[in-house]
Structure 1
Amino acid sequence: MTSKVIINQPQHVMDKKESDQWESGICDCCDDVPQCCFAFWCFPCFTCKTSREYGQPLCLPLLEFLFGGLIGPISMSMRVSMRERYGIKDTMCRDCLYSTFCIPCSWCQMSREIKRRKIQVLLVSAKNT
């Protein structure tokens, strides 16, 4: 007597194809007004919160204040890392400009991007049929 065993592995399904562009522009603060107000009123706390949501150490952005240079190295590296992780096509030149002259707007844009691209994991148990 032979028995035939068939095992089907669950497959993941993605409903939405991620874009290769930023989901919002650098000045689209009206897309998430509470986040922009938080960034305006308490920027160091906002950067720490955003860094934690991205999976980086909580106080990493505070190191940027120690450098005192013109270009924010932490802000720029976070933008570049985010572009690489999410496959966003942009330039290092633009990252440098935003990290130098538009730091609060840049962090707000990164926060909105994290919120929109966060994929929740759903574990499904397999049944024997």
Structure 2
Amino acid sequence: MSALVLRQPQAWDGSSDAAEWASGICSCCDDMTDCCFVFWCCPCFACKTTKTFGECLCLPLLDVCGCVRPITMSMRVSVRQQYGIKGTLCNDCLCSTFCSPCVWSQMSREMKDRKLPTVLGDLIHR
């Protein structure tokens, strides 16, 4: 059964009306509950955040295979694009590689602050 495409994905044009992150990369203490959670068990926190965003729960576990964190980086890019946040792939790569727990915390805070529905890539078949 084929999925019906209701609207084609639109390219992000990087216009000047793009938003900034609601909180900085080092603002982990803004939400102490999440701060403690990410500090004591970052993989569990990453899985919870990924599931909240609408992706596979275990996806972040693939990051343990190397020093570069492709899942963390791709999730950061996806969150940035979902909410129209300014940024660059280079910055996403650097933050994800050298400060992964801070990135997961920032993405979680952003989703809570925005409270916008996420758009899932898969359509539910009827």
**Residue 80 of structure 2: which of 74, 80, 83 is its match?**
83
Higher radius of gyration, 1 or 2: 1
Deviation at 1:119, TM superposition (A): 3.0
The amino acid across from 1:96 in the alignment is C
Matched, 1:97 2:87: no
- Indicate the residue corresponding to 1:38 in structure 2: 37
Instruction: Say if 2:38 and 2:101, in contact at 8 Å, map to a contact too.
Output: yes
Unaligned runs of 5+ in 2: 1-16, 118-126
Identity over aligned residues, as a percent? 61
Q: In the TM superposition, what is the alpha-carbon distance from 1:118 to its structure 2 partner?
A: 1.4
Q: Which residue of 1 aligns with 2:47?
A: 48
CA displacement 1:50-70 (0-9 Å, x = unmatched):
0001111111101111x22x2
**Residue correspondences, number:** 101
The code of the aligned residue for 1:79 comes to R
Equivalent residue number for residue 73 of structure 1: 70
Regions of 4+ moved over 6 Å = none
Counterpart code for 2:44: C
Q: Write out per-residue CA displacement over residues 100-120 of structure 1, whole angstroms, 9 at most, x where no aligned residue.
A: 100000110001001111137
User: TM-score when scaled to structure 1?
Assistant: 0.74
